[in-house]
Amino acid sequence: MHYQDERTDGCRISDSWTYRGLKTVILENELIRVVVLADKGADIYSFVHKASDTDFMWRSPSGVRDPRRFLPTSGSAESVWLDVYEGGWQTVVPHGGYPSSSTGAELGLHAEMNTLPWDVQIVEDTRERVAARFSARGPRTPFFVEKTLSISAGEAILTVDESVVNEAEEPANCVWLEHIAIGEPFLSPDCRLDVAESRIINHGEKVEPNSVLEPGFEGPWPLSRAVDGSEVDFRTFPGKETRAVDMAYMTGQSEGWYAVTNEKTGVGFALSYPAEVFKYLWYWRSFGAFGYPWYGRTYNVGLEPCTSFDNGGMDSALENGSVRRFEAGETVSATIKAIAFRGTGEVARVAPEGIIEWA
């Protein structure tokens, strides 16, 4: 039997844990702790800034459920996914968005990798750096996904080196989405959002009856428009009393990055990603709406790099020409960095290596 080094200093990693029956991997150093549910999509369930005891990841009211011990009460292509959605960060391949079909395969909401158990292997385990490689192969589509998560000593940065491979002997379409949900208590009206210079596109129709954004509006960051004609400043977050859910998208970024800064606590979460791969930043604004599936119990946002547009799934991406077509045997790779930081004020840039640059 292999026993890992159970040290208590420097970088640490272990895959010898389970949480609610799911194999779980923990990576940490002196600054951050990251918890990954290997048996459920290799989802990043928790990302904690240790010094301030801040977990940036949103937690769904449903919590973590072991799909092997849970029987959905309907066969809806949306609710099957939502019934086991715990929040946090999912790698969504090959189908981000609402249900569609592709070459005869039915694809549910955000199918299909993040409802599968992933293989995991610890590939580096030293005081200076730890890394784990996760991989999964789709049962309905010909895609193979591999991602290596790593943390280095002295850095509050999680690095995700990820590759998507079309193993088919024919082309295959893909909507690759990094589904990252940030929530309270970190998220509040005390926070500000900064992104690279970009163009805003509101979803083409109301996503909920209580949506406030004007459908189809387009304009330069940071001002959007509401259905009542007023301006909506995307640099700020409304309170839960708005009871609104909306979808918008940012595109045209010369560099892919965003930062959410809590001006009251002086703690922030940032992400850098390659804009040439993820040409759109999806913006899910969920501020306490009533009704299924949240019943007023949520306050969170999704800031989600994606290859394609929009939340309508493969059908919409094919129609508008934004789908990512993989040739037979093609591999697409990307490096994403998630950063915990301290500070207040406007973030001018998040460099690809994860450095925060202030205005």
Each residue's pLDDT, cut to its tens digit, for the chain (359 residues) gives 466 778 899 999 999 999 999 999 999 999 999 999 999 999 999 999 999 999 999 999 989 998 888 888 887 888 889 999 999 999 999 999 999 877 788 889 999 999 999 999 999 999 999 999 999 999 999 999 999 999 999 999 999 999 999 999 999 999 999 999 999 999 999 999 999 999 999 999 998 999 999 999 999 999 999 999 999 999 999 999 999 999 999 999 989 999 999 999 999 999 999 999 999 999 999 999 899 999 999 999 999 999 999 999 999 999 999 999 999 999 999 999 999 999 999 999 999 999 999 99
What is the sign of the dihedral through the CA atoms of 330, 157, 223 and 92?
Answer: positive
Q: What is the pLDDT of residue 306?
A: 98
Class in CATH terms, 12-358: mainly beta
Dihedral sign, Cα of residue 303, residue 307, residue 313, residue 316: positive
8 Å CB contact between 344 and 266:
yes
Q: What is the pLDDT of residue 222?
A: 98
Provide the pLDDT for residue 256. 98
- 13-33 b/e with 16+ CB inside 10 Å = b? bbbeeebeebbbbbbbbebbb
- The letter for the amino acid at 80 is V
67: its two tokens: 């799909």
pLDDT at 1: 44
Q: How far apart are CA 257 and CA 337, in angstroms?
A: 9
C-beta separation of 145 from 333 below 8 A: no
Q: What is the pLDDT of residue 294?
A: 93
Tokens 């493969």 locate to 314
pTM, whole model, 2 decimals? Answer: 0.97
Residue among 266, 214, 258, 268 at smallest CA distance from 235: 258
Residues 6+ positions from 31 with CB-CB distance below 8 Å: 49, 50, 51, 154, 155, 156, 340
Q: Are 181 and 300 in contact (CB under 8 A)?
A: yes
Neighbouring C-alpha atoms within 13 Å toward the C-beta of 241:
2
Contacts of 1 (CB under 8 A, 6+ apart): none
Nearest-angstrom CA–CA distance, 286 and 237: 10
Residue with tokens 């709406």: 289
Say if strands 129-137 and 143-152 run parallel, antiparallel, or are unpaired: antiparallel
Domain boundary assignment for the chain? 12-358
